[in-house]
Chain A
Amino acid sequence: AQSVTQLGSHVSVSEGALVLLRCNYSSSVPPYLFWYVQYPNQGLQLLLKYTSAATLVKGINGFEAEFKKSETSFHLTKPSAHMSDAAEYFCAVSDRSGNTPLVFGKGTRLSVIA
């Protein structure tokens, strides 16, 4: 069965600092991987996805993530945090056999300090 582990339920960074949110997955074959962001009282918005093209994936709002098969990781980064980046971030995995449910991590809450 697939699973996702997000290290750190809460990450706090200063405005302008590097953002690094960690995600490790467990899957018997390389899966599809996603990062979603959730603002308070809203649904999930897709930031970026890995579907076996380039291993470095660029998303919206300046975020990017790198798929590392050897480390089974898909960490999310942004060079310079903005106050508007404060939200809950979820890493998710799905297999490749058609439309299948996403398996989510528990989420990481990002706080940005002025």
Chain B
Amino acid sequence: GAGVSQSPRYKVAKRGQDVALRCDPISGHVSLFWYQQALGQGPEFLTYFQNEAQLDKSGLPSDRFFAERPEGSVSTLKIQRTQQEDSAVYLCASSARTSAKTQYFGPGTRLLVL
């Protein structure tokens, strides 16, 4: 079956631009996670949804970062007024309710802010 998909795969933005990153989770997965992976580092948690409810947003680095999942399926991570330090790979993962915590990752969106 189809895995987690993300779009765009690559995004170049000028400093100060707004960007929107999309995640399509595996069909039926209720949990959705966003992670940020800086160059040469492990992924770091940003935010977590269960269905449409955002249960944890403690990892969002600033109020310029906003995520939504209005219908409990597709999610969008929005970054306003991008800064150079936002350059990273943004990974989305989904998990089924009873899958013993296994998270399935998408290919990521590589964001470069110039």
Show the binding face of A for B, using Cβ within 8 Å: 4, 32, 34, 36, 41-46, 49, 51, 90, 92, 94, 96, 99-107
Candidates B4, B41, B104, B110; contact of A106 at CB < 8 Å: B41
A44 to B106 Cα, complex, angstroms = 7
Show the binding face of B for A, using Cβ within 8 Å: 4, 31, 33, 35, 40-45, 48, 50, 56, 59, 91, 93, 95, 97, 100-108, 110
List chain A residues, Cβ under 8 A from B108. 42-43
Whether the Cβ atoms of B45 and A101 lie closer than 8 Å is: yes
Report the minimal beta-carbon distance from B61 to chain A, rounded to whole angstroms. Answer: 15
Report the minimal beta-carbon distance from B77 to chain A, rounded to whole angstroms. Answer: 15
Report the minimal beta-carbon distance from B73 to chain A, rounded to whole angstroms. Answer: 16
A-B contact count (CB 8 A): 64
List chain A residues, Cβ under 8 A from B105. 36, 43-45
Q: Which residue of the partner chain A has the closest CB to B5?
A: A43
Report the minimal beta-carbon distance from A54 to chain B, rounded to whole angstroms. Answer: 14
Given A32-B101, A43-B108, A49-B102, CB of A101 within 8 Å of CB of B59? yes
List chain B residues, Cβ under 8 A from A105. 42
A42 to B43 Cα, complex, angstroms = 13
Of B56, B91, B101, most buried by chain A (CB within 10 Å of CB) is B101
26 of the cross-chain contacts (CB-CB < 8 Å) are A4-B42, A32-B100, A41-B110, A42-B107, A43-B91, A44-B43, A44-B91, A44-B93, A46-B103, A46-B104, A49-B102, A96-B101, A99-B48, A99-B50, A99-B97, A99-B101, A100-B101, A101-B35, A101-B45, A101-B56, A101-B59, A102-B45, A106-B40, A106-B41, A106-B42, A107-B40
